[in-house]
Chain A
Amino acid sequence: MELSAFAATTAKPRPQSRPDRLGSLLLAGPGLLWLTLLMAIPCLSLVAMALATRGQYGEVSWTFTLDNLKRLAGFGLFGWTPDLGLILLRSLLVAAITTLLCVALAYPLTFHIASRRPSVRVFWLILIIVPFWTNVVVRAYGWLLILAPQMPPARLAAYLGLIPEGAALYPGSLAVYLGMTTTFLPFMALPLYASVERLDPAIIEAARDLYANSLLIFWKVALPQTRPGLTVGVIMTFVPAMAMFVVTDILGGAKNMLIGNLIQQQFSQARDWPFGATLSLALMFLTLLSLTFWRLRNPDKRESS
């Protein structure tokens, strides 16, 4: 009976464009295998490890415990502290502000590039892509040099009385955000550019013709029309920014510790892999929650055909 049903479905002429199911599965196979082996299995093992115990010498001891979850909730050796909660909250905030800064910088940038002649656009795009090739650590150390006490920015700040004479502009929030935005701007700008470039200039002109000022044009026309690129950019910026530890490690100092730094500590100095796994899961959960929130706030509307 199943066979006859199968025959009935195959007998119908199918549209040419629809790829045949088995063929597409075969083609997707390597990718699926890769994801299963290298994403799903490690994620599941992360869950398992989060429920395990740290051995005396920092090894993973497979004794079931919920202690790590308690620690996550803030109950440590010396009673409840808000520290962990604050670190999580700070991570969320830093990632959100970084994303916002990148959006604010990327929109004017991409509009500028998209309005150039095609030959000039390549030049601008290369300017965005080049930092991509440079290692994050190198870029962060670059900022250390720029923000050093003897450099003009720190001197100016000292002259204005913002920092003490002879002090550097790091560690601190300013240094962290400078480092974070330079790291993530390409991740925001490139997908956004793809959307901005496809924006029909006539639509912008139509809005202006219909009495809209620049702010309204951006809000009611440009933003909704570039939302697909913006969403990709936000995901590509926010997710890695949540887990970032290199930039904060170099530029942030102890006061600016993020969840990423904490996880890195658990797996290195503290040698507490189970708690590190718990923190990683918490980060994943928080990221997922934030993205769901973004998705709900920005539902996919009908896009241009």
Chain B
Amino acid sequence: MVAQVNKSFGNHHVLKDVSIAVPQGEFCTLLGPSGCGKTTLLRLVAGLELPDSGNICLGGQDVTTLPANKRQVNTVFQSYALFPHLNVIENISFGLKARHLESRFITAKVKRMLEMLDLGELGKRFPNQLSGGQKQRVALARALVNEPRVLLLDEPMSALDPHLRTQVQTELLELHRQIETTFVMVTHDQGEAMFMGGYLAVMKDGQMIQMGSPREVYSRPKNKFMAEFLWGANILPATRCGDKRWDTPVGQLESTDQVPWPRGYLAIRPELIVLGPSQLENRAGVNSVQALVQRAIYRGPSVELTLTPGPLKVVTSPRFNPQPGDAVSLLFPSDDLVALEGPTGPDELAALTTAPPPRQNEFPALTERAA
């Protein structure tokens, strides 16, 4: 599925030259803050809205102007939108009947679908007699029974109880593994997008920011927004001071990222900063920083530290029990420091040129490199 579209509602430019290409059979999650246009993109692919410009292709065929009822795309709606006056079987067979398929064929297919989604006993029930999870399975069955090229899911977990979600997510992945349909799921839940998507696309303000595998998107954020948006990385203003070497508020750091720009940011995930010299051999004092613990939060599976300078965020093993005021040494693995372009605005530039010196003065010890 390929889409390159523009869409406005009145004066509001909802989708700005958004392009997305999802390989056949992939499970793609569309992630973004609410109002970023991800649902609009989904509706364009479904054929429920027309793009102002651009086109949408399914399996090489241009379907931009094809109405929803002629597109081999089916949708699981956010509220499921089951037909209240039809029972489960009638709901599932709606699409097949609308295409005037042979009734014997319909019966057989619906039966298979009921079994596949474990709805066997519920065939004669009406939607208001079903639980949230059951409704979702009927909505899935109603869409999948048509064997669409692409299945669109509009925040399908949002109406489910939190304790049900993890289970349903696993089941949905398992279902996707069994059939060869392309799934495109809209979500605003980062964990869900990360866990479910074989392919992750992040949108913001009507623009596609980054696409790729969850590992790629998380570990190599493309810009400052991406680094902040997914659980928040440590972002340090940086000025290049040598090949691969950058001056930052916490000292000189080395990054393996090869970039052309002279100043920008270095980003690193909190869990990738290594705590304590004992944990890793500190080779030649490179990328080592002394810091003070400001706050430590014990989370069970991990300990979350807020450190000065920075403030830096570090997530580490619960084995450690640092107390506020403790001095620790940190190691920034140079492979995990991502160089980002910037600053883009004059404000950020001002912050970059004025902010670092006072900080260095506040903590003179920290600017020295550990021996």
Q: Do A and B come from one complex?
A: yes
Interface residues of A (CB under 8 A from B): 200, 202-203, 205-213, 216, 220-221, 224-225, 301-305
Contact of A205 with B84 in the complex, beta carbons under 8 Å: no
The residue that A210 contacts in the complex, of B78, B98, B127, with Cβ under 8 A, is B98
Question: With the chains together, A203 CA to B83 CA distance in Å?
Answer: 6
Alpha-carbon separation in the docked complex, A206 to B48 (Å): 10
Residue pair A205, B85 in contact (C-beta under 8 Å): no
B128 touches A301 (CB 8 A): no
A3 → B minimal CB distance (Å): 41
Q: How far is the CB of A66 from chain B (nearest CB, A)?
A: 48
Taking a contact as CB atoms closer than 8 A, the residue among B67, B94, B99, B143 that contacts A207 in the complex is B94
B48 touches A207 (CB 8 A): no
Complex contact B85–A209 (CB within 8 A): no
Q: Closest chain B residue to A206 by CB distance?
A: B81
Surface stretch bound by A, among B10-18, B69-77, B221-229: B69-77
Residues from chain A with Cβ under 8 Å of B67 in the complex: 208
- Chain B residues closer than 8 Å to A203, beta-carbon distance: 81-84
Query: Is B85 within 8 A of A305, CB to CB?
Result: no
Known: A202-B79, A211-B95. A301 touches B146 (CB 8 A): no
- Whole-angstrom distance between the alpha carbons of A212 and B47 in the complex? 13
Q: Which of B67, B68, B70, B79 gathers most chain A CB within 10 Å?
A: B68
Contact indicator A304/B69 (Cβ below 8 Å): no
Contact B84 A302 (CB under 8 A): yes
Instruction: Give the shortest distance, in Å, between B9 (CB) and chain A (any CB).
Output: 13
A-B contact pairs, 28 of them (CB 8 A): A200-B79, A200-B81, A203-B81, A205-B68, A205-B75, A205-B77, A206-B77, A206-B81, A207-B98, A209-B48, A209-B143, A210-B69, A210-B142, A210-B143, A211-B69, A211-B99, A211-B146, A213-B69, A213-B98, A221-B83, A302-B126, A302-B128, A303-B85, A304-B84, A304-B85, A304-B127, A304-B128, A305-B127
Nearest neighbor of A204 in chain B, beta-carbon distance: B81
- Whether the Cβ atoms of B69 and A208 lie closer than 8 Å is yes
Closest to A200 in B: B81
> Can you name the residue of chain B whose Cβ is closest to the Cβ of A301?
B85
Closest to A212 in B: B98
